[in-house]
Amino acid sequence: MTDNGRPRRRRPVVLLLVLPLIAVLVPEFYNFGHPAIGGMPFFYWWQLAWIAGVAVCTGIVYRATRSPR
Protein backbone atom coordinates (compact mmCIF):
# COMPACT_ATOMS: atom_id res chain seq x y z
CA MET A 1 0.00 0.00 0.00
CA THR A 2 1.22 3.49 -0.64
CA ASP A 3 0.89 6.64 1.39
CA ASN A 4 1.31 9.95 -0.39
CA GLY A 5 2.48 8.01 -3.40
CA ARG A 6 5.51 6.56 -1.58
CA PRO A 7 5.95 2.83 -1.18
CA ARG A 8 5.72 1.84 2.46
CA ARG A 9 9.00 0.80 4.06
CA ARG A 10 9.63 -1.27 7.15
CA ARG A 11 11.29 1.01 9.65
CA PRO A 12 14.40 0.02 11.61
CA VAL A 13 12.34 0.35 14.79
CA VAL A 14 10.80 -3.02 13.90
CA LEU A 15 14.15 -4.60 14.82
CA LEU A 16 13.18 -3.95 18.45
CA LEU A 17 10.99 -7.03 18.14
CA VAL A 18 14.09 -9.23 17.82
CA LEU A 19 15.50 -8.14 21.17
CA PRO A 20 13.14 -10.13 23.45
CA LEU A 21 13.59 -13.24 21.28
CA ILE A 22 17.35 -13.24 21.79
CA ALA A 23 17.00 -12.41 25.47
CA VAL A 24 14.81 -15.36 26.45
CA LEU A 25 15.37 -18.05 23.82
CA VAL A 26 19.06 -18.62 24.64
CA PRO A 27 19.24 -20.21 28.11
CA GLU A 28 23.05 -19.95 28.01
CA PHE A 29 22.55 -16.25 28.84
CA TYR A 30 20.54 -16.69 31.99
CA ASN A 31 20.62 -20.22 33.43
CA PHE A 32 22.30 -19.12 36.66
CA GLY A 33 21.30 -18.88 40.31
CA HIS A 34 23.15 -15.62 40.96
CA PRO A 35 22.74 -12.72 41.29
CA ALA A 36 19.44 -13.38 43.04
CA ILE A 37 16.91 -10.68 43.87
CA GLY A 38 14.87 -11.08 47.05
CA GLY A 39 15.73 -14.78 47.07
CA MET A 40 14.64 -15.30 43.47
CA PRO A 41 17.38 -16.87 41.28
CA PHE A 42 18.63 -14.97 38.24
CA PHE A 43 17.03 -17.53 35.90
CA TYR A 44 13.56 -16.53 37.13
CA TRP A 45 13.76 -12.78 37.59
CA TRP A 46 15.59 -12.29 34.27
CA GLN A 47 12.75 -13.93 32.37
CA LEU A 48 10.06 -12.21 34.45
CA ALA A 49 11.76 -8.86 33.83
CA TRP A 50 11.61 -9.49 30.07
CA ILE A 51 7.84 -9.55 30.27
CA ALA A 52 8.03 -5.83 30.92
CA GLY A 53 10.74 -5.64 28.27
CA VAL A 54 8.61 -7.21 25.58
CA ALA A 55 5.66 -4.96 26.42
CA VAL A 56 7.88 -1.89 25.96
CA CYS A 57 9.29 -3.20 22.66
CA THR A 58 5.91 -4.12 21.14
CA GLY A 59 4.44 -0.87 22.50
CA ILE A 60 7.07 1.26 20.76
CA VAL A 61 6.69 -0.67 17.51
CA TYR A 62 2.92 -0.31 17.68
CA ARG A 63 3.14 3.46 18.10
CA ALA A 64 5.62 3.72 15.24
CA THR A 65 3.66 1.59 12.79
CA ARG A 66 -0.03 2.05 13.60
CA SER A 67 -2.39 3.02 10.83
CA PRO A 68 -3.69 6.58 10.78
CA ARG A 69 -7.26 6.97 11.95
Residues of this chain that bind another protein (CB under 8 A) = 1, 3-4, 8, 14, 17-18, 20-21, 24-28, 31-33, 36, 38-41, 43-44, 47-48, 50-55, 57-59, 61-62, 65-69
| Nearest-approach distance from CB 46 to another protein, in angstroms | 10
Q: 3-class DSSP state for residue 24? A: helix
Residue 62 has phi, psi (to 5 degrees) of -60, -45
Choose between 1 and 35: whose C-beta lies nearer to another protein. 1
Kindly provide the residue ranges of all beta strands, DSSP E only, lying in 1-69, ordered along the sequence: 2-3, 6-7
